[in-house]
Amino acid sequence: MHSNQLSTMKTTPIQTSAGIFRAHFSERGLAGLDFPDDRTISPARPDDLSAQLRDWLRATKRALKLTLAGKTPKTLPPLDLSTGTEFQQAVWSALRKIPAGQTRSYAEVARAVGRPQGARAVGQACGANPIPVLIPCHRVLAAHGKLGGFSSDPAWKRNLLAREKVGREARQGTGR
DNA sequence: AGTTCGGACCGTT
DNA sequence: AACGGTCCGAACT
């Protein structure tokens, strides 16, 4: 079931101001997003893609670029999160409710999903997030505002938070 | 005020 | 049974 899904997965690059991401689509929707790395992959020819896939890709591009600009996309492509456990999906769902420019602690997210003692497990679930950026695991910090960990390069966490912070400050003037 | 250490907690493999 | 993107308090500096 799971291995068969992998074979039908379509992967395509997405060029952004932050580099070339890679998006993975299953039959159900966007199933994975990779940060830019040295690996290179050629984009599929438009005629090679189904109309549905083109639509998902276009929605993904739009949402990704908006988020990288510190904004909040109104709509996302359909997400295929079927690889996650019940708990992980609950955490990922909670992550999506954190507005851009805001942060939560792992303990706060744990409370939000009804496992007040599960902060560590939340960290694990964040690390298992298959669609970073769009599912904003970077908005979860350790207690007392410390950065906390990140599965890929922690520099990405800083980078993403910085992008959202400038958007926030520009939006509401010089707070402080 | 900042740092380090040691237990305790929880889901996943 | 062991491992993490943790947390908290206590004991330091």
CATH number of the domain encompassing residue A131: 1.10.10.10
Q: Please report, in tens digits, the pLDDT of each residue of chain A (176 residues total).
A: 454 455 689 999 999 999 999 999 999 999 999 999 999 889 989 888 999 999 999 999 999 999 999 999 999 999 999 999 999 999 999 999 999 999 999 999 999 999 999 999 999 999 999 999 999 999 999 999 999 999 999 999 999 999 998 665 654 543 33
State whether the Cα torsion A23-A58-A56-A12 is positive or negative. Answer: negative
Number of domains into which chain A is organized: 2
Choose, from A91, A137, A140, A141, the residue flagged as catalytic. Answer: A137
A79 in any annotated domain: no
**Contacting residues 107-126/A vs strand C (CB within 7 A):** 107, 119-124, 126
Is strand C within 7 Å of residue A104 (CB)? no
Query: Can A137 be counted among the known catalytic residues?
Result: yes
Pair (A94, A153) in one structural domain:
yes
Cα(A62)–Cα(A75) distance, integer angstroms: 9
Q: Which nucleotide has its C1' atom closest to residue A117's CA?
A: B9
Query: Which nucleotide is closest, CA of A119 to its C1'?
Result: C6
Q: A20, A38, A68 — which closes off a domain?
A: A68
Distance A3 CA to B5 C1' (A): 44
User: How far is residue A19's CA from residue A51's CA, in Å, rounded to a whole number?
Assistant: 26
In a domain, A63, yes or no: yes
Taking the C-alpha atoms of residue A82 and residue A18, their distance in angstroms, rounded to an integer, is 28
**Structural domain boundaries enclosing A23:** 3-68
